[in-house]
Amino acid sequence: MAKKRVLVVGGDGYCGWATALHLSTLGYDVAILDNLIRRHWDATHGIDTLTPIVPIERRIAAWQRKSGRTIELFIADVADYGALARAIEAYAPDTIVHFGEQRSAPFSMIDREHAVMTQTVNVTGTLNILFAMRDLAPEAHLVKLGTMGEYGTPNIDIEEGYIEIQHNGRRDVLPYPKQPGSFYHLSKVHDSDNISFACRIWGLRATDLNQGVVYGNSDETAGDPELLNRFDYDGLFGTVLNRFCVEAVVGYPLTVHGAGGQTRSFIDLRDTVACVELSIANPPDPGRLQVFNQFTEQFSVLELAERVHRVATRRGLTPTIEHRENPRVEREAHYYNAKNTSLLALGLQPHLLEDATIDAMLDLAERYRDRVDLAQIASHVQWAPGARARGASNLHAPAPIVPPDSTNLTPLRR
């Protein structure tokens, strides 16, 4: 590796922490920049990860004891351009891996304040990174975590970032049309446009990783309790597979929103960190934004519920599957076929969702069962209160509905 210094922005988060450790294992010099606001949001919204997470300083110290490698830490907010610029100037990274955003669709849909916060944090932070690169690290490569949610659910195949079109006898390759499903996903679309513009006018180089829903653990974060990663199952930040595994363990119904036909892309966390490393090792030319669709499989929500149900039943658990009213405004029956050939061509060897993976997630849920808060499981955020009365129900396929059971961070400076 000719270029080895990597700054992982948002390195205290689920994907960022796993990526920082994986790159450190591979011999990269790694620094983390984070303002720790994700922990603050847990506290202010009354939620918590299933797994107990130690402070970031203890995490890094534990990694140094285990691996013999040091990870540098910058406590800073990407919204604070001065602090961000000082960190980039001091560390002089060859690559900036950017995970430092508010990443929850439900969080962005709570109310006006959360929508504005999400777009302000995400769009402003990315713009600050782009300006800092232009002025302080113009040769660096930006690897930015996007989302497959930018595309929505179009009735045509989803290409990787760009699409060739013919119109009135002329052809061109243009950015793929986006149909995001939340204010969070909209912020990612704005990021993609801003990054593309900065590459085009300033000659920067960037890779946009449109990631599917991520699950599981990485090799580096498994085992040591001080290196544990997050396992979010709550209605704000939790992911569907995590929720199903927790529900199965505690005897709560596997809650499928609506018909369950919503189909999305998924990826194992071990493949996420591998994709980031492949992107770092294969930067685009200056002035270009390359886009990779970062996922390995596609599942509907109901398919996932049925798989968890099968594995849990084999373990002696007795989960049921129940359909609940869908709080989102989304199509529950739709065409979905996304391309993901680029990272495979670069050498990605996928870890597919096997029963053993679900078993491992159920093991983790059982180990920390006493930390489960049933009140956190349900999603209370409505995309459009009263929308069904205004005709939005046309977006939804018929589904049996069963009622639920009764049962200001101040940035620190380094």
- 368 catalytic? Reply is no
Contact 8, 28 (CB under 8 A): no
Catalytic residue among 188, 207, 252, 272: 188
Residue 169: burial class (beta carbons within 10 Å; 0-12, 13-18, 19+): exposed
The answer to whether the CB of 260 falls within 8 A of the CB of 300 is yes
How far is CA 320 from each of CA 188, 232, 243, 297, rounded to the nearest angstrom? 35, 21, 14, 25
Catalytic residue among 147, 263, 296, 357: 147
What single-letter amino acid sits at 261?
A: G
Spatial distance between the Cα atoms of 124 and 107, rounded to a whole number of angstroms: 18
Question: In the annotation, is 184 catalytic?
Answer: yes
To the query of whether residue 147 is one of the catalytic residues in this protein, the response is yes
How is residue 307 written in tokens? 């798989």
- In the set 28, 176, 184, 336, the catalytic residue is 184
3-state secondary structure of 244: helix
pTM here?
Answer: 0.93
Q: Do the Cβ atoms of 314 and 276 come closer than 8 Å?
A: no
Instruction: Report all structural domains of the chain as residue ranges with CATH numbers, in order of start.
Output: 5-220+269-296 (3.40.50.720)
Mean pLDDT of 88-103: 98
For residue 18 the two structure tokens come to: 């796993």
Q: What integer is the mean pLDDT of 301-328?
A: 98
Model confidence pLDDT, tens digit, residues 362-392: 999 999 999 999 999 999 999 998 644 333 4
Taking each helix axis from N to C terminus, what angle separates 112-136 and 81-91, rounded to the nearest 10 degrees? Answer: 40
Tokens 């199952």 -> residue: 233
CA 3 – CA 73 distance, rounded (Å): 20
pLDDT in tens, 117-170: 999 999 999 999 999 999 999 999 999 999 999 999 999 999 999 999 999 999
Structure confidence by residue, pLDDT tens digits, 167-203 = 999 999 999 999 999 999 999 999 999 999 999 999 9
